């Protein structure tokens, strides 16, 4: 599919096996909560977009996100060193999305951000079906990495769901693909392929709820049997009529039912439990480190925890085969945004 909208300007909802070349929101009709066509300002400022790339290995875990909420643009990048239990974190915010450029092509688009000497660029990789991250923070951090969705051949999750009475969200996600390249900070240098790094990619955009809250879990590692394993589960977003919950075994996507997250709200660094309604996901997550973003600026607000830790448990394929997970590195999120 070239477009997310049909010939009548209506958004197409559902799960898509075919690539969506462009999320052309400007062509989509946006009808507000009282049956009126949304005005130009709402159509522009209510549209949100972000992309996250993460890599996980026993040598280093890293993540990088670019976020455009129109009123502001933000970026973060971090590197966590599991053996030392040390995390290096860098965050940037600019008003009115100054310094941010993002197109709306989830498969092969370009996103760039610059602030205070830092430059981050997300672009198509050198290989077919790959994504490249170049992050340069002079004298502090350098990443040049490529997520290869052909190693193993990975079936992306693509879906579009309703968000409230007027909105919608499109997401494209993968997990468990090989990551090549290098990462260097003041704490060390890592050849990512040699370290056995596997990764996750999330490209999301749309007219999200004015107040959005989600819980999210992800891993990219190896099952006990050696298979490349990826996981993407959430609740609070992307679960109206369709769900983004799934896992990958050697690139093959397996769908899951709704997922319940059990955790201690006053101490998110205590263990979490994740279980799906179909009984095919039973996992325990033990946190090790956390990247946090917090902002309260009048009509905007953010309270965000991206926690790094280890998953143990089992994932059951539709065939009945069980994939055992033993202390594989991954992420968990608790997020609230008023945007």
Residue in 306, 312, 339 with CA at minimum distance from that of residue 324: 312
Is 131 within a domain?
Answer: yes
pLDDT of residue 2: 83
Is 2 within a domain?
Answer: no
Is 3 within a domain?
Answer: no
Query: Over 90: is that where the pLDDT of 202 sits?
Result: yes
Residue 21's pLDDT band (boundaries 50, 70, 90)?
very high
Mean pLDDT, the chain, as a whole number? 97
What are the residues whose beta carbons fall under 8 Å from the beta carbon of 203, sequence distance 6 or more?
Answer: 51, 106, 109, 171, 172, 173
Is 4 within a domain?
Answer: no
Query: Region 231-250: what's the mean pLDDT?
Result: 97
pLDDT of residue 325: 99
Residue 112's pLDDT band (boundaries 50, 70, 90)?
very high
Pairwise CA distance, residues 78 & 141, whole Å: 9
Per the structure, the complete domain to which residue 115 belongs is given by: 14-338
pLDDT of residue 232: 99
What are the residues whose beta carbons fall under 8 Å from the beta carbon of 104, sequence distance 6 or more?
Answer: 22, 23, 24, 25, 49, 205
Pairwise CA distance, residues 308 & 286, whole Å: 8
pTM: 0.97
In the chain, how many domains are there? 1
Q: Are 181 and 143 in contact (CB under 8 A)?
A: yes
Residue 1's pLDDT band (boundaries 50, 70, 90)?
confident
pLDDT of residue 57: 99
Query: Over 90: is that where the pLDDT of 60 sits?
Result: yes
What are the residues whose beta carbons fall under 8 Å from the beta carbon of 110, sequence distance 6 or more?
Answer: 101, 102, 103, 121, 122, 123, 124
Query: Region 214-238: what's the mean pLDDT?
Result: 98
pLDDT of residue 297: 85
DSSP string, 12-44: PPEE-SS---B--GGGS--B-TTSPBPPHHHHH
Return the bridge partners of 15, or none.
159
Is 8 within a domain?
Answer: no
Query: Over 80: is that where the pLDDT of 266 sits?
Result: yes
Tens-place pLDDT, residues 272-312: 999 999 999 999 999 999 999 999 988 899 999 999 999 99
Residue for token digits 């319940």? 260
Residue for token digits 């670019």? 66
Is 7 within a domain?
Answer: no
Pairwise CA distance, residues 222 & 94, whole Å: 38
Query: Region 211-233: what's the mean pLDDT?
Result: 99
Is 6 within a domain?
Answer: no
CB atoms within 10 A of CB 302: 20
Residue 251's pLDDT band (boundaries 50, 70, 90)?
very high
Is 33 within a domain?
Answer: yes
Query: Region 137-143: what's the mean pLDDT?
Result: 97
Residue 91's pLDDT band (boundaries 50, 70, 90)?
very high
Edge-to-edge strand order for the sheet containing 322-338? 252-255, 246-249, 228-235, 211-222, 322-338, 300-316, 281-297, 272-276, 259-262
Query: Region 53-78: what's the mean pLDDT?
Result: 98
């Amino acid at each position: 599919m070239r477009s997310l909208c049909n010939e009548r300007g209506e958004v197409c909802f559902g799960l898509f096996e075919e690539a969506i070349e462009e999320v052309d929101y400007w062509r989509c009709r946006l009808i507000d909560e009282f049956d009126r066509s949304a005005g130009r300002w709402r159509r522009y400022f209510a549209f949100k977009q972000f992309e996250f790339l993460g890599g996980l290995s026993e040598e280093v875990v890293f993540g990088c996100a670019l976020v455009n909420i129109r009123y502001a643009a933000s970026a973060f990048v971090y590197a966590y060193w599991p053996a030392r239990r040390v995390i290096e974190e860098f965050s940037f915010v600019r008003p009115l999305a100054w310094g941010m450029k993002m197109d709306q092509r989830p498969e092969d688009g370009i996103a760039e951000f610059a602030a205070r000497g830092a430059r981050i660029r997300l672009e198509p990789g050198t290989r077919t079906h790959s994504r490249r991250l170049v992050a340069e923070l002079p004298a502090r951090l350098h990443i040049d990495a490529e997520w290869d969705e052909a190693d193993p051949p990975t079936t992306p999750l693509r879906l579009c769901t309703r968000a409230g009475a007027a909105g919608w969200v499109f997401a494209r996600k993968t997990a468990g693909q090989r990551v090549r390249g290098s990462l260097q900070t003041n704490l060390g240098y890592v050849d990512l392929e040699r370290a056995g790094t596997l990764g996750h990619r999330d490209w999301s955009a749309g007219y999200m709820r004015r107040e959005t809250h989600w819980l999210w879990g992800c891993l990219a590692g190896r099952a006990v049997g050696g298979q490349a394993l990826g996981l993407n589960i959430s609740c609070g977003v992307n679960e109206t009529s369709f769900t983004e919950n799934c896992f990958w075994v050697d690139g093959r996507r397996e769908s899951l039912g709704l997922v319940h997250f059990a955790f201690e709200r006053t101490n998110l660094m205590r263990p979490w439990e994740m279980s799906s309604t179909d009984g095919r996901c039973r996992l325990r997550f033990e946190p090790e480190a956390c990247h946090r973003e917090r902002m309260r600026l009048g009509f905007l607000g953010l309270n965000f925890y991206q926690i790094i830790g280890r998953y143990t448990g089992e994932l059951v394929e539709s065939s009945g085969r069980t994939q055992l997970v033993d202390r594989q590195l991954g992420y968990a999120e608790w997020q609230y945004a008023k945007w």
